[in-house]
Every structure is written in structure tokens, then in C-alpha cells.
Structure 1
Amino acid sequence: MTRGLRGATSVLSNEEGQIIANTKALFEEMVNANDIEANDVSHVFISVTKDLNAAFPAKALRELPGYTFVPVMCMTEIDVPGSLPNCIRIMMVINTEKDQQNIKHIFHNEAVKLRPDLVKNKR
């Protein structure tokens, strides 16, 4: 069965190093917290707010062993007035036997504000 796994983080500024590092840290925690292997991942969507254009966050996944052939697509998030700036969101579609309520969604930095109901360990 496939399940969606959510994650989000934020960066302090529109710099390639921050975008890649924060995306990588978020993705690695999503994978580790849910016992995911690269072959379990169907595809990954990554959205960024309009203020982030210094790098494709998908580059962070390409640096991880086993993720060369996982389809990843980057896009711009809807620009809703008052929404969290400098935000990177990940939607990973995985093959798993876990029930929906047992999926551990991960939020880092200012992005913990997006879904406080899903955040157990605020960073």
C-alpha cells in the first residue's frame, strides 16, 4: 500500500547551502523515523515558497545513496498572503504496511508552525 509522508523545514535565507543542507536533514529524518529504504519510495514532491530560488532542493536527495532513480519533482508553493516564508515542503509517497496513524511526519525549524498537531518533538 502507498502512503504519503509529509515534512517541512525553513531556511534563514535564500542560499544554496542552506536549502540543500536543510532539505537533506529533513529528508534523512523522515526516512529514519519511518524505517524507509530507497526502494520503498515511489516518488517525492518538493515545494518551496516563491522566495527560495537559489537551488533545487531535489539536489539534496541526489547526494544520498540509493536515491539516484527515485523520481523527484520541485515546484513553487501557492503564494498565500501571510504564509510561512523561506519554507521547503516534502511530500514523499512510500510503499509501506504501516497504518496512516503510524506514519511519522517531520517538521523542522519554523515549519513546526504548519502542523502543530503532528509535531511531537519540536526542534
Structure 2
Amino acid sequence: MTEPLRLRALRGATTAEENSSASIAAAVQELLAALIESNGLEGPRVVSVTFSVTADLDACFPAAVARRWAGWNEVALLDCQQMTVAGDLPRCIRLLAHVWMEPQRQPHHPYLREAMRLRPDRSGHN
């Protein structure tokens, strides 16, 4: 008998090269691809994703980028501004995703690009 899926919270972060729609979109797409690939996710298993961005990113909404993903029309998406803290990583995009996963699967929290500095223990696809 198969165990029921378990609701998990996944974290991740990346940085945009500049404050432009194209740069933000590229960073969000890369982060979502890493999240999905490393956790074996499908659209229906993603319940919600909250994106937060540092105040220096205002060219586009990360949720608008995620909304274009196939199978994500039922995913609750939200954008917010990250709290401003002196010395914080610039042009940073963070996410918190709630997903259904197999209980035996180890969750992976992708920290990409310059955001690897935030969590060196979880950089890349770990």
C-alpha cells in the first residue's frame, strides 16, 4: 500500500543580474526549474508559492512568471517585498512553496547564483 502524500514547505532563493523584467524572469524560471526537478514535482502537487524580493527589484512580479508555467493554473501565487536589512544580499528573490510529496522523499531547497551565500549548506540542488 502506498503511503499518503505529505504536505511540505520548501525554501529557495536566487539573484537577478539586474532589475529588468528579462533578468528577473530568467532567475525565477531557473529557480522554479531547480525546485521542480530536484523534488520530482508536478503542477498538481504544488499548492502555493510565495515570492519575496528585495526592494531593488521592481521591474516585474515573480508570480507573473510562475503563472505561465504549464499546469500551474491552480497554484496560489503571491509576491511581497522582503524586509530591508542593512547588508542584505542585493537583487535577491526568495520563495516558500507548499507542495505534496511522498513521505520517503528527502526535500531539496535550491539556493542558486549569489543566493548560495545565504545557505551554503543547501546550495545548488540540495
TM-score exceeds 0.5: yes
**What is the letter of the counterpart of residue 5 of structure 1?**
L
CA distance in 2, matches of 1:85, 1:97: 35
CA distance in 2, matches of 1:67, 1:120: 24
Q: Which one of 87, 109, 113 corresponds to residue 109 of structure 1?
A: 113
Partner of 2:77: 72
Which of structure 1's runs of 4+ aligned residues deviate more than 3 A? none
Query: The residue matched to 2:121 in structure 1 has which SS?
Result: coil
What TM-score comes out, normalization by structure 2 length? 0.89
Partner of 2:3: none
CA distance in 2, matches of 1:89, 1:120: 14
**What is the letter of the counterpart of residue 120 of structure 2?**
P
Count of aligned pairs between the two proteins? 121
Which 5+ residue runs of structure 2 have no aligned equivalent?
A: 1-5
Compared CA separation, residues 99 and 49, structure 1 to 2 (3 A): farther
Q: Which one of 89, 100, 122 corresponds to residue 95 of structure 1?
A: 100
What TM-score comes out, normalization by structure 1 length? 0.91
How far apart are residue 121 of structure 1 and its match? 6.0
1:1-123 matched pairs, under 5 angstroms:
1-98=6-103, 102-119=106-123
Query: The residue matched to 2:60 in structure 1 has which SS?
Result: coil
Compared CA separation, residues 120 and 43, structure 1 to 2 (3 A): closer
How far apart are residue 28 of structure 1 and its match? 1.1
How far apart are residue 98 of structure 1 and its match? 3.2
CA distance in 2, matches of 1:118, 1:108: 9
How far apart are residue 97 of structure 1 and its match? 2.4
Which 5+ residue runs of structure 1 have no aligned equivalent?
A: none
